[in-house]
Amino acid sequence: MNKIKTDLLVIGAGSGGLSVAAGAVQMGAKVVLLEDHKMGGDCLNYGCVPSKALIAAGKQAHVLRHGAQFGVANAEPQIDYAAAKDHVNKVIATIAPVDSEERFEGLGVTVIRERGRFTGENTVQAGDTEITARRIVVATGSSPFVPPIPGLENVPYLTNETLWDLRDLPEHLLIVGGGPIGIEMAQAHLRLGAKVTVIEGDKAMNKDDPELAAIVLDRMREEGMVIEEDALAEEISGKAGDITVKAKDGRVFRGTHLLMAVGRAANVNDLDLEKAGVAYSRGGIEVDASMKTTNKKVYAIGDVAGQLQFTHVANYHAGVVIRSILFGLPSKAKQGHIPWATYTDPELAQVGLTEAQAREEHRDKAEVYRFPFHENDRAIAEGKTTGLIKVMVVKGRPVGASIVGASAGDLIGVWALALANNLKMSQIAGMVAPYPTLGEVNKRAAGAYFSPRLFESDMVKSVVRFVQKVLP
């Protein structure tokens, strides 16, 4: 048996694990990285990257169908679903070298392509190698959660992992789950020519501001999507090409393909965490604010830590633990400034508190300021006027922002910066945005905060009149 001693052992080569490994080795630490599946993890191979590539294909088809408003004749696109998947694979292949085993070995990381299992508080077995590490970071991510719905085990179904192997466009895609994954893939497939029915046991996009989520869902229904809410799947039956989902209230839905998109489950199995004294549950590994587990030599980051399940969160966690592990400095993770986006058309993005949360937490101290996209000149020029920004403010500082509209995922960055640095609304209002851009939406929202204070204030008017009288 091979034995290795190292400063840092990283289990999992997804976004978070790779960020830790790359940062640590380049700052002088000895690093071992374990990965028994694909380098790059879920984000590169099954999640963020392929989904956005397929969304882009669907958006291109949609553009061709809707050119008349710009003086360009509408055209029904000739869609080759297999070619769209080739585009997806090409995008993955283009990005993959950055996450590759070869690159990390070139940086000086010892990469072992085996599953790791704890054998003690700071020892891990990986194939025929035993690694002893001063510190260990578990970054094993998450996998699609498949609920135990009666009959599902006898029916062919897809997840976000297996969807990418499909080469023929589904005639009628049933999607169980109306969260970000389900909704994004629903719109992409609808625009690529499939019939789509979304079956959600609660309300679709129920973690987002309901007013803004309704704008997205209304657009999808206008495009022809069927969205069935309060339809808890109770039984699934059928065979390939003819699948039936029965809801608890008796509604029945039939389609040719089934995509299960009801959430994610932390990858905690087969790690033998008990042998290291690491506490965990179905929701993930138990961590404190510094991302340490119940074993102070072991950290957990990203999806497996049971917090917000986004790639950028895993990368953020990586920075937190690097500070602690490499420099021995106190470092804590926060969640209040973490943004997220759903990449539908229009996009929906959020950071900090929603309107409902702000009013509940801050009561009458919470103020909400809005600005619609249909008053933005760039949105008007490009026909992207469906949208709205809401900024929640307490004592002159933003505590949250919700945006629905074109490029919402990009626009939310300003407010993520504001929350991360405790900025005031005056500092956002002081920003000069180039004209005409969608970025002016952010400045106008900040301006909405000051407008009543400047233009509706009797005191301000009195001061202005006095100054005008005394000026030479």
Estimate the crossing angle of helix 180-191 against helix 210-223, to 10 degrees.
Answer: 20
How far lies 10's CA from each of 24, 82, 113, 115, 342, in Å?
10, 36, 12, 11, 29
Closest by CA to 32, choosing from 139, 119, 192, 184, is 139
Is the pLDDT at 464 greater than 90? The verdict is no
What value does the mean pLDDT take over residues 306-333? 95
Position 324 scores a pLDDT of 95
Tell me the H-state helices in 228-372. 311-327, 355-362
On whether 131 is known to bind a ligand per the annotation, the reply is no
Is the pLDDT at 150 greater than 70? The verdict is yes
On whether 256 is known to bind a ligand per the annotation, the reply is no
Residue 451 pLDDT level (bands cut at 50, 70, 90): confident
> Which tokens is 310 given?
């986004």
What value does the mean pLDDT take over residues 342-355? 98
Three-state secondary-structure class, residue 121: coil
Position 454 scores a pLDDT of 67
On whether 182 is known to bind a ligand per the annotation, the reply is yes
Positive/negative CA dihedral, 11, 14, 16, 22: positive
Burial class (CB within 10 angstroms; exposed 0-12, middle 13-18, buried 19+) of 203: middle
Position 20 scores a pLDDT of 98
Q: What is the pLDDT of the chain when averaged over all its residues?
A: 96
- Which tens digit of pLDDT belongs to each residue from 40-69? 999 999 999 999 999 999 999 999 999 999
> Which tokens is 327 given?
């420099």
CATH of 339-455, one of 3.30.160.70, 3.30.2420.10, 3.40.50.300, 3.30.390.30: 3.30.390.30
Tell me the CATH number for domain 152-262: 3.50.50.60
Share of the chain above pLDDT 90, in %: 94
On whether 178 is known to bind a ligand per the annotation, the reply is yes
Position 303 scores a pLDDT of 97
* Cα gap 337→331, rounded to integer Å: 16
Is the pLDDT at 455 greater than 80? The verdict is no
* E strand intervals along 115-184: 116-118, 123-126, 129-138, 142-144, 172-176
* Cα gap 54→46, rounded to integer Å: 11
- Which tens digit of pLDDT belongs to each residue from 112-140? 999 999 999 999 999 999 999 999 999 99
Instruction: Pick the more confident residue, 121 or 469.
Output: 121
On whether 179 is known to bind a ligand per the annotation, the reply is yes
Identify the H or E element spanning 242. Answer: strand 242-247
On whether 440 is known to bind a ligand per the annotation, the reply is no
* Cα gap 414→442, rounded to integer Å: 8
What value does the mean pLDDT take over residues 404-426? 97
* Cα gap 400→349, rounded to integer Å: 11
On whether 200 is known to bind a ligand per the annotation, the reply is yes
Asked if the domains 2-39+100-144+265-327 and 152-262 are classified in one and the same CATH topology, the answer is yes
On whether 16 is known to bind a ligand per the annotation, the reply is no
On whether 283 is known to bind a ligand per the annotation, the reply is no
Closest by CA to 326, choosing from 302, 289, 299, is 299
On whether 201 is known to bind a ligand per the annotation, the reply is no
What value does the mean pLDDT take over residues 86-114? 98
Tell me the H-state helices in 4-47. 15-26, 41-45
The DSSP output letter for 97 is: G
CA 242 to chain centre: 32
Three-state secondary-structure class, residue 358: helix
On whether 439 is known to bind a ligand per the annotation, the reply is no
> Which tokens is 36 given?
């028994």
How many Å is the maximal CA-CA distance in the chain? 91
On whether 184 is known to bind a ligand per the annotation, the reply is yes
- Which tens digit of pLDDT belongs to each residue from 211-255? 999 999 999 999 999 999 999 999 999 999 999 999 999 999 999
On whether 105 is known to bind a ligand per the annotation, the reply is no
Is the pLDDT at 278 greater than 70? The verdict is yes
On whether 277 is known to bind a ligand per the annotation, the reply is no
Q: Residue-wise over 390-422: b if at least 16 C-beta within 10 A, else e?
A: bbbbbeebbbbbbbbbbbbbebbebbbebbeee
The residue type found at 130 is: E
Residue 465 pLDDT level (bands cut at 50, 70, 90): confident
Domain 2-39+100-144+265-327 has CATH 3.40.190.10: no
Share of the chain above pLDDT 70, in %: 100
How do the domains of the chain map onto residue ranges?
Answer: 2-39+100-144+265-327, 152-262, 339-455
Residues listed for the chain: 472
